[in-house]
Amino acid sequence: MAPVKILVADDNQQIRMLVSAALRSLGHELLMAVDGEEALKVANEQLPDLVLLDVQMPQLDGFEVLSFLRKRPETAGVKVVMLTTAAQTADKKRGAELGAIDYVVKPFEPKVLRSVVERALEF
């Protein structure tokens, strides 16, 4: 069985490092992207099982990335969890409407993130 691939798309290096540290114990392959354009490139090339997607990123924001992922047949079914400081009800609603399966607000507790990731992978 191929290892699970998780793409972490966030422009903040510290957040990418925190997510990596929180998820390392799960044994999945972690892919990183520093902006929306790179997130799409990595997703199209690597076809991850799950994307942890920040909303506020340069180039393309997380909602735009999610929309593009849903339009392409190869990535339309990828599981996406929004991981962001954009915690307004409207943001959460927009993410759900675009197809995000969960929404984690930063700052996050590592064990909460692990739980959300495990649940998303079973979804």
The CATH number assigned to the domain holding 97 equals 3.40.50.2300
Q: Per the structure, how many domains does the chain have?
A: 1
Enter the pTM of the model: 0.95
Model confidence band, residue 1 (pLDDT cutoffs 50, 70, 90): low
Q: Look at residue 122 and tell me if it is in a domain.
A: no
**Omega prior to 107 cis, within 30 of 0:** yes
Expressed as residue numbers, the domain containing 65 is 5-105
pLDDT, tens digit, for every residue of 29-81? Answer: 999 999 999 999 999 999 999 999 999 999 999 999 999 999 999 999 999 99
Q: For residues 7 and 31, give the distance between their C-alpha atoms in angstroms, rounded to a whole number.
A: 5
How large is the average pLDDT for residues 107-117? 95
The phi, psi pair for 75, rounded to 5°, reads -115, 0
Return the residue matching tokens 């400081």: 85
Q: Look at residue 117 and tell me if it is in a domain.
A: no
